[in-house]
Amino acid sequence: MDSLLVRSAEELFSRHADPTAVRAIRAGGSPEVLWGELERAGFPDALVPEDAGGAGLRAAEVLPVLMAAGRFAVPLPLGETMLARAALAAAGEEVPPGAILLGEPLGGGARVPAIGAADWVLLPGDNGALLLPMAKAAEDEGAGSPFGRVLRWPGGAGRRLAVPDLFPAGAWAEVAAMAGAMERILESTVRHAGERQQFGRPVAAFQAVQQQISVMTEDVFAARMAAQLASVPDGDGVAGLNPLRVAAAKLRTGEAAVRVSAIAHAVHGAMGITEELDLHLLTERLRTGRVRFGGEAHWGGWLGRRFLAGDETETLAFVRAHLGPSAPEATA
């Protein structure tokens, strides 16, 4: 199943999410073609139960699709739409058509990515969430930053829904996309190091470059493993996500993103700072992903409080009890 989904997703993104198309959407162009292809492929409904018209897949099964989206720096909320539709369907709420962003509450408004497109924003609140139409949003330009816009809506613009807290789920979607982006960055960096000649030999032949790529490789595979462990369905969140696993994955992936971005740009040398290089699409995706739905400090503190409030007296026991792989199936 995984290999079939990955091949389908990567073929779709190769045809409709190449760097030119991604840059066009980031610049304000219409995402209609790309989103239409995603809808026809059924990816946005992948986590929706079959009896509600979806594919009924688990988080671990859709993880490769979200990682593929990260590999192509897709500027559309595919993972967030999957999660939002699954949450709405589970709550018996009507699922609206189009892409759904998960917003982060900020000063009476919602913080959303600075780049990208969506039709709706699902904003968590004290009692459920508000489903808000993007068409009625007004941007608060004074409150925004390069990492996100702040949107506000007039009173009565939203529909209140009885859905669970989607903040950890949003963090999981970011982990998946970041892990995929880092895989693509590693491939690009290794290829460039092998092709770029300096002093009559490839830069990959220099020991310092080899050491840096080794560090990058460790971080990339750690991020992938973190995403896989975060997708184990042993929690009570949307799609069975466990906030403890998501917290550890977001923390580890964020730490990895810092080093991977720095090494990639350093190995690319002077051309690494040029805007035309596709690498920028991926490293900017990492910078955005670190900030959205809690950074390393947020989730590190959250995990620490859970550890102190638990029964385990040693961190290793806590990790084994809550963050390890799923238990193997019993055999006869």
Question: Averaged over 121-129, what is the pLDDT?
Answer: 84
pLDDT (0 to 100) of residue 11? 96
pLDDT at 329 over 70: no
pLDDT at 233 over 70: yes
More confident residue, 1 or 187: 187
Instruction: List the domain range (segments joined by +) for residue 253.
Output: 167-322
296 located within any domain? yes
**pLDDT band, residue 324 (cuts 50/70/90):** confident
Q: What is the pLDDT of residues 235-285, one digit of tens each?
A: 888 999 999 999 999 999 999 999 999 999 999 987 777 777 899 999 999
Cβ atoms within 10 Å, residue 22: 24
pLDDT at 100 over 50: yes
Q: What three-state secondary structure class fits 81?
A: helix
* Domain containing residue 214: CATH number: 1.20.140.10
Find how far residue 166's CA is from the centre of its chain: 13
16 located within any domain? no
pLDDT at 22 over 60: yes
Mean pLDDT of the chain, nearest integer? 91
Residue 267's nearest CA partner among 218, 322, 203 is 203
pLDDT (0 to 100) of residue 229? 96
Question: Averaged over 72-98, what is the pLDDT?
Answer: 94
Token pair, residue 144, equals: 């925004």
Distance CA 177, CA 277 (A): 20
pLDDT (0 to 100) of residue 2? 65
pLDDT (0 to 100) of residue 142? 84
74 located within any domain? no
Token pair, residue 189, equals: 């960096």
Q: What three-state secondary structure class fits 181?
A: helix
Alpha helices in the chain (DSSP H): 2-16, 19-26, 32-41, 59-71, 78-90, 167-195, 207-230, 243-268, 279-291, 296-309, 315-322
End-to-end CA, the chain = 26
250 located within any domain? yes
Distance CA 80, CA 103 (A): 10
243 located within any domain? yes
315 located within any domain? yes
177 located within any domain? yes
Contacts of residues 37-40 at CB distance under 8 Å and 24 or more positions apart, as own/partner, are 37/12, 38/12, 38/76, 38/78
> Domain total for the chain?
1
Question: Averaged over 26-51, what is the pLDDT?
Answer: 95
Of 41-45, 66-70, 93-97, the poorest mean pLDDT is in 93-97
93 located within any domain? no
